[in-house]
């Protein structure tokens, strides 16, 4: 699977790049940081959420269901994605600072080519969006917003104590190569 993103590259800031699936992880991570910065979702004495001077560490991994072992599903790294494949996006937020953070909002953007699997967010997500700008409650989506059309899922703001971490995850089905 390849995705197209705009990113700054040397003197050509608007150059469009095709990136392999591994680039998807970097793209999602960048959007998770954008969500934190734009919405002021992690507020403390940090200069920029997730930046070098920030106490907030964000780790995103993409996994896929593996073999069942002792009756339990295993998850394995997803180096590439194929149509129909289920991906598990797992994001961990870790406060490495000495003070607590307020209003940390976990957010997972869903790039073109994947569709959210209804009810798969853990813990249960609070809001979703069709455009990444306007959000609605997951429990009461508009009639014209089936879960497979969602472009971002986010969780309710929460405090994050010094040294503490929390993880969110959701599943998405790859819809295009």
Residue 7 lies in a domain: no
**What local confidence, expressed as pLDDT, does residue 20 receive?**
38
Residue 38 lies in a domain: yes
**What local confidence, expressed as pLDDT, does residue 16 receive?**
31
**What local confidence, expressed as pLDDT, does residue 122 receive?**
95
Residue 1 lies in a domain: no
Q: List the chain residues with pLDDT less than 70.
A: 1-52
CA distance 61 to 54: 20
**What local confidence, expressed as pLDDT, does residue 103 receive?**
94
Which CATH number fits the domain that encloses residue 105? Answer: 2.60.40
**What local confidence, expressed as pLDDT, does residue 51 receive?**
58
Residue 4 lies in a domain: no
Closest of 158, 155, 53 to residue 96, by C-alpha: 53
Residues in the chain: 177
Closest of 80, 111, 87 to residue 172, by C-alpha: 87
By residue range, what is the domain housing residue 168?
Answer: 14-174
- In tens, the pLDDT along 63-96 reads 999 999 999 999 999 888 899 999 999 999 999 9
**What local confidence, expressed as pLDDT, does residue 42 receive?**
31
Residue 54 lies in a domain: yes
Residue 28 lies in a domain: yes
CA distance 39 to 23: 24
The pair of three-digit structure tokens given for residue 16, joined into one six-digit string = 């469009």
Number of domains in the chain: 1
Burial grade of 101 (CB within 10 A; 0-12, 13-18, 19 or more): buried
Q: Which one-letter DSSP state was computed for residue 10?
A: T
Residue 80 lies in a domain: yes
């Amino acid at each position: 699977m390849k995705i197209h993103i705009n990113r700054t590259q040397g003197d050509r800031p608007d150059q469009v790049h095709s990136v392999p699936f591994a680039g998807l992880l970097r793209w999602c991570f960048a959007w998770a940081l954008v969500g934190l910065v734009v919405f002021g979702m992690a507020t403390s004495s940090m200069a920029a959420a997730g930046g070098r001077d920030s106490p907030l560490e964000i780790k995103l991994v993409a996994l896929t269901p593996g073999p069942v072992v002792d009756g339990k599903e295993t998850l394995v790294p997803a180096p590439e994605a194929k149509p129909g494949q289920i991906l598990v996006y797992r994001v961990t937020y870790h406060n490495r600072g000495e003070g607590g953070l307020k209003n940390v909002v976990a957010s997972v953007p869903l790039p073109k080519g994947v569709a959210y699997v209804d009810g798969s967010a853990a813990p249960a997500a609070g809001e979703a969006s069709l455009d990444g700008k306007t959000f609605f409650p997951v429990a009461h989506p508009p009639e014209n917003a089936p879960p497979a059309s969602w472009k971002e899922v986010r969780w309710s703001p929460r405090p994050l104590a010094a040294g503490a971490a929390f993880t969110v995850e959701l599943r998405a089905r790859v819809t295009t190569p």
